[in-house]
Each structure stands twice: as structure tokens, then as C-alpha cells.
Structure 1
Amino acid sequence: MDGTKRLALRREREAKAPILLQAGFRPFFIASAAWFPIAMAFWLALLTGKIELQSHLDPVTWHSHEMIFGGVGAAMTGYLLTATPNWSGRLPAIGGPLLVMMGWWVLARVINAAAGWAGPWPAALIDSGYYFVLSAVIGRESWYGKGRGVSIAVLTAIFAIACGAHHLAAATGGLDHGIFARAGIAILVLLISLVGGKLLPSFTRNALPRDIRTTVTAQETRFDAIVNWVTALASLAWIVDSKGLAPTMLALAGVLHLARAIRWQPWRVTHEPSVISLHLAYLLLPLGLLGLSFIGEGRQSDIMHLLTAGSISCMILAVMARLSITQTGRHPRWRLAPLAAVLFASLGAIVRVVSGTGPIPLQEGWLLAGLLWMFGFGVFLIFFAPMLVLPRVRSGSR
């Protein structure tokens, strides 16, 4: 199918679907940006004893699960359902299939918070089954795209296994469920390394004046392959045993990611908030990896927030903002909105890490960190959610 015919068919299908279901990024970006602060508010209420959780997951486990496999999963779905058709040249999912996936994701969130009446097995099957289906969809597009994106499909399948295993390990107590939480985080770190390694240099190069674009390569090099492989090996070592060889591997991965971030020359694109916000989010990745490598085991859960509340969440915000702008043809009324969202979320992550170690008391620090982090997603909802429920602006129509 040639590009002109494909575009005509896509617009015909879009015209028959509600605006919110015309592309994967529309419903799932809103769901992700809304669920993160809802889940955080729920977590803060659990901490203060204002509510009780009716689930096989204890409050701490529920919190980590919903951050890793809940909010992140929605953003991941929105991005992948939007990006994968570009691999295969096929039409994207629109309308009914999106509604089914959205309903499935919502059902998983509800049953995880109130699974006491259903039990861990149904919750695990519903929650992990969602990601197995997503992996199959990505795998199908990879097949038609002659293998492009097969690593993403495999990682999504492993993510599904970690999701289900996290449920069952927490319910039975037979295994350390922290292993599966680390597995989920490690997969997301790998996705940032793989996908971010393609997006950031490309966006950076495009944002530069034509006469200096050649200073930043948009092509992956052997160095990028080394970074990805070292990150994969460091992640595996960290999942299996956070001690032993893991600290050394994490430190090496952190140094390589830092070198990679410098190599992209982010200081050249400070004039473009949507691009510099991606760089700031990425910078938290090597900081988190280096922090995990040097900190003692007793504080690893604190430092881990540089990866989760920091790099992963900020990368989600930055990518969602950038894609919302490019895919809808609109711009936020406040140009610095992408950067503001990332700064608030990253500040929340930093406050969470240092809470209880200095002048900020532990409980108050957690509350402040949660509020700052929630405000970052609030900025996205205020400035970008309206774009996602309005028709795309066609070229020349503004």
C-alpha cells in the first residue's frame, strides 16, 4: 500500500471514530497522566491511614505495582500503538480495538485495588494478560515490518511475565516479589535506552540550525549498541542479586549513559523546551544507575526513585508532551509546559530520595515529594489533555 492510499484510508477510518479513539496516544496518554496522580494520592492516603487496601497486595507492593505496571503501562501502550504502524506500514489501531484495550487496562486497575474478593490469580491473569496481548500486537507489526521492533515485543512479553509474577509472589510469599518489581523497572530502563537512543538524537538534530546539524548524528552507532548491551547485562545482574557484581555493572552502565547524554550535546537545544525536557529526563537515568551502584543496600529503595519517579516518569511526561504536539498539530498555550512538567516531577523524585537524611523529615518529605510529582502530571493534564480530545490541526488550517 503506497503512502497516499494509506493516509486516505487512515483519515477515512478516523472520521468514523470518536476523536478520543482516533489514535492510541489519545486515550492512553490521558489515562496515564490521570492515573499517576490518582494512584499517588491513594498511596499517600494509605500512608496516613485514612483508607485501607482490600487486596492481596500490601500497600507498599500495591504502590510499586501500580506505578510500574499501571501508569507506565498506559503510557507505553499509547506510544507503541502509535509508533508501531510506522514499522510495518500498516494502519494503526482505531476505534473499537482501542476501546477494548482501554477497558481492559481500567479493569486491571480496579481489580488490583479491590482483589480481596477475587483473589490473586484472576488479578494476575487480567493484569499480565493485557501486556501479553500488547506484546502480540507489537510482534505482529514487527513481523510485517521485517523484524523491526522485535526487541520491543520481547521486552513487553517479559514485562507481562514480571507483572503476573509480582502478583503471585506477593500473594503466596514463596518468592521475593521485589525481584519482579526490579525486573519491571529494569525493562523500562532498557526501553529508555533503546527507544530514547533513537528519539533523542533525532529530535536534537532536527531542532538544530541546518548549518550545525551534522555535529549530532541521528544514526545509531556501535557505541549505542555497547550502551544497550551493558545496560541489559547490568539490569540482569541487578534483578538476580542487587549485591555481588551488580554495583560494578550498574556503575559502568551509568557512566556509558552519561557519556551518551553528553555526546548528544543537549546544551545546543535549550531553545526548544520539548526537546530539552527529553534530555533532562534522560539525564536522571545515569544518575539513578550510579546512585544504585554506590549506595548501601538499606537505601536502595530510596535511590531507586531516581529511576522510577525520576527518569521513567519524566521520560513519559516528555515523550507524551512531544508526541501530543507533533501528532495533533497543536502547541500548548504556554511554551514551557513540557519543561515545567518534567522539572516538577524530577524535583519530586529528588525530594523523595533525600527525605529523612537531612532537614526534611521522612513523612513530610514523602508528602512534599508526592505533591511535587503529582503537580508535574497535573501540568500535562492542564496543557496537553485538551489537545488529545480535539481534532488534529491539518497543515495550513491554523
Structure 2
Amino acid sequence: MIGKTAEENRSAETPICLQGGFRLLFTGAALWALVVVALWVGALDGAWSLPTAMEPLAWHQHEMLFGYLGAVIAGFLSAAIPNWTGRPVVTGWPVAAFVGLWVAARLAVLFSAYVPPLVGTVLDVGFLLALFGYAARQIFAARNRNKPILIVLLLFAAACGLDHAAAMGFTADPAIGMRAGFALILMLIAIIGGRIIPAFTRNWLVRRGQTDGLPIMANRFDHAVLAITAIALAGWTLAPAAHLVAWLLLGAGALHAARLTRWAGLRAVADPLVFVLHVAYAWLPLGLLLLGAATPWPIVPVSSAMHALGAGAMAAMTLAVMTRATRGHTSRPLEADGATVAVYMLVNLGALLRVAAPLLPFDYMLSIRLAGGLWGGAFLLFLFIYGRMAMERPVKS
């Protein structure tokens, strides 16, 4: 019998939940999304008040952006960086400490009416800076080309701190930190989506012998789209009501719609794991168009645009990435079963209803509850299927 290596012995002794940060972070993120939506809808409905020093809407936005998405980004990087760099996966107590820091930050922010808000700020920004430190160490040690992600992480941590400062009354614009963080996430979707969506679609089509009309990979057009989007989002962050910014957002939305048509998404309908990426990305141009239209044509509510980008683009894209990454990193086949398809359908239907809620002819709160139920159902089903999957040792053949 061949003896096991020391690394294999350590892996066998480490609880499965601590073998890679993505397991607890993806699970915790999905659970927190459910909690945040439930608490926010209840507060909006007058059922209860929230124990946070933040305004309820500001807390809801902060926690979905920096709490939920912060955990998803951390989980994604914990799985992706070892692949990028060839360095070992972090396991054991560092994972527990890192996840514990994220949980402590969420609780401190939620109960900031009783815990000094500065405590939540330090924990919250500290989590993102710890993620930056881990990523920087691994990427620089391997001399990996993904150094730009470090700039985004550092700016995201700064935006988180700015949002806390705004909540404590230290900024003239109470939403500037939220908009800055929102803009950074949208740029990440535009950049990373532009890499993986055409690549995954091309690979899927080639494996099936379909070599005609393949997705167009990134070229100068894509670079121009990203540049215009960055300018538009920077303008929105600093001056959201400016008419020039509105037209830049409309232009960026139209360009992203054109970009999406170059990726042959309709040819990948047969593979939900690939097709859902196209559907999730489609929320980006829609949201940018709605956001741009909200200034010159106020009949379009800003809330609809924000939820197209948040409940639509961000939530659908993160669920698509989390399902794919969990399957890939737990040695499961990259195939979407019926439950996974249901996750994708629920999150997109919930987002659609939430975006349309202010325009529907029936009770607004009923629409919000239904949208929250559908959207939350996607995360509940993800927890049931993929939370268990992340906590189980795959059976080796």
C-alpha cells in the first residue's frame, strides 16, 4: 500500500467545510441574502424595525453590496486564485478565521444601534482588506497576470469605508459609497463576463462540432465598451442626476446590448450552465438603459434600474458563477439538473417582477412580497442543493 503524503493526511483531517473558503463563503452569502431580503421586506411592510444605526434602505443596500457580494467575491477568489497561480488552496483555521471575520462584520453592522458603528466599520473594511492581502500575496508570489483585480479589491474596500462614513454623517452625499461600490461590481461583471461568457460558449459549441458562427472574443470594440462604461459609471458615482451622465449610461447600455449579441448566446440554450451567463449579462445593458432613462424621462423609476442591476445582473451572475464553481471544485459534472435550472428561473423571475413592481397596476407591496418570495426561493434552493454539495466529500470512483 502506498503511503499518503503529508498534504493528503492534513486534507483528510481538516473538516470538509474548511477545505477551501468557497464552501462556507458561498453558503453564508446565500443565507445572508435570504436574511437581508426578509428583514428588509418586513421593515418596509412595517412588521418590525431593524436594530441598525443605518437607515433601513441604506442597510439593505450595504449588506447586499458589501456583505453578500463581498462574501461571493471572496469565495470565488478562494477557488480561482489557486488555479491562476498554482499555489496551494488555503484550508483549516485561516478559513475559519476569515469566515468568522465576515460573520462578525455582518452582526456588528446589523446591531450597530447597540454596538458602536465604528466596530462594524473596522470589521467590515478589515474583511475586505484581509481578502486583498491574501490575493496580493498569492498573485505577486506567482507573478500572475491578474494584478488588476487587486486594484478593484482595494477600491471596493475604500467604497465600503466611504459607505460607513456616509451612514455616520461624515459625507455630504449619503449614497456616494454605495454608488462607488455598485459601479465597481458592474465593471467586474463587464470585464469578467466579457472573458468567460464567450470563452465558455465557444468551448461548448466546439465540443459539439459547431465551428461556424462562434462567439467573437474580446477585441478593440470590447475595450471601447469597457472604457465608455467606466466613464459613465464614474460620472454616475459623482453626479448621478447629470444629464450628460444619463446619456453616457444610455450609450453604455446600448453598447453592452450589442456586445452580448456577438457571443452566440441563443446557440447555447441547450446548456443551462452556459446560457444562464448570457441571461445574467443581459440584465447589465437593461439596467444601464433604465438608469440612464430615469433622468431625462422620470417615468422610469430609479429603483427599477437599480434592481435590474442588483437583483438582476449581480444576483443572477453570482448564482451562475457559484453553481458552476461549486460543481467544478467538488468534482461534480458541469451539468445543470432540474433544481439548478429552477434556481436560475426563480432569481430571474424575481428580479423581473421587482423591476416591474412600480409600474404594475396592482398593490405595490404585494408585488414586492411576490418578487422577494421568488428571488429568495432561488437562494433557498441554492442552499438546499449547493450548500449540502459544498459540505459533502465527493465520492471518488
Q: Do they fold alike, i.e. is TM over 0.5?
A: yes
Matches within 5 A, 1:37-186: 37-172=34-169, 174-186=171-183
Distance 1:165 1:116 in 2: 19
Aligned to 2:259: 260
Change (3 A) 1:15 1:198: farther
Aligned to 1:220: 218
Matches within 5 A, 1:282-301: 282-296=281-295, 299-301=301-303
Distance 1:343 1:64 in 2: 23
1:238-286 deviation per Cα after TM superposition (whole angstroms, max 9, x unaligned): 1011132211221222122112211110111111111111111111111
Change (3 A) 1:385 1:50: same
2:15 maps to 1:21: no
- How far has the Cα of 1:302 moved from its partner? 2.7
Contact 1:13 1:94 in 2 (8 A): no
Aligned to 1:321: 323
Unpaired runs of 5+ in structure 2?
none
The amino acid that maps onto 1:243 is: A
Contact 2:166 2:174 in 1 (8 A): yes
1:101-147 deviation per Cα after TM superposition (whole angstroms, max 9, x unaligned): 10000001101110122222221111011111111222222213425
Aligned to 1:280: 279
Q: Where does structure 1 differ by over 4 angstroms across 4 or more consecutive aligned residues?
A: 8-13, 331-334
Change (3 A) 1:222 1:37: same
- How far has the Cα of 1:13 moved from its partner? 4.3
Change (3 A) 1:93 1:310: same
1:41-81 deviation per Cα after TM superposition (whole angstroms, max 9, x unaligned): 11112122222222220111111111111111111110011
Distance 2:308 2:178 in 1: 15
Distance 2:58 2:37 in 1: 13
Aligned to 2:368: 366
- How far has the Cα of 1:34 moved from its partner? 1.0
SS at match of 2:168: helix
Contact 1:270 1:276 in 2 (8 A): yes
- How far has the Cα of 1:86 moved from its partner? 2.2
The amino acid that maps onto 2:190 is: S
Distance 2:82 2:216 in 1: 21
Contact 2:257 2:285 in 1 (8 A): yes
The amino acid that maps onto 1:95 is: G
Distance 1:239 1:168 in 2: 16
Change (3 A) 1:288 1:239: same
The amino acid that maps onto 2:21 is: G
Distance 1:57 1:29 in 2: 25
SS at match of 2:42: helix
- How far has the Cα of 1:193 moved from its partner? 1.1
- How far has the Cα of 1:334 moved from its partner? 7.0
Correspondent of 2:203 among 203, 206, 222: 206
Contact 1:231 1:253 in 2 (8 A): yes
Distance 1:220 1:189 in 2: 18
| TM-score of the pair, normalised by structure 1 | 0.92
Tell me whether 309-318 or 376-385 shows the greater mean CA deviation: 376-385
Tell me whether 279-288 or 352-361 shows the greater mean CA deviation: 352-361
Distance 1:162 1:93 in 2: 27
Aligned residues: 389
- How far has the Cα of 1:331 moved from its partner? 5.1
Distance 1:80 1:124 in 2: 23
Correspondent of 2:194 among 177, 192, 197: 197
- How far has the Cα of 1:392 moved from its partner? 3.2
The amino acid that maps onto 1:322 is: R
Aligned to 1:235: 233
Tell me whether 347-356 or 61-70 shows the greater mean CA deviation: 347-356
RMSD (Å), alpha carbons: 2.2
2:306 maps to 1:304: yes
Contact 1:281 1:342 in 2 (8 A): no
1:339-394 deviation per Cα after TM superposition (whole angstroms, max 9, x unaligned): 32122112212211222322232211111111111011122122222211111344
Matches within 5 A, 1:334-345: 335-345=337-347
The amino acid that maps onto 1:275 is: V
The amino acid that maps onto 1:246 is: V
Tell me whether 349-358 or 333-342 shows the greater mean CA deviation: 333-342
Contact 2:215 2:262 in 1 (8 A): no
The amino acid that maps onto 2:91 is: I
Aligned to 1:3: none
Change (3 A) 1:333 1:217: closer
Tell me whether 131-140 or 350-359 shows the greater mean CA deviation: 350-359
Distance 2:118 2:172 in 1: 16
Change (3 A) 1:16 1:145: same
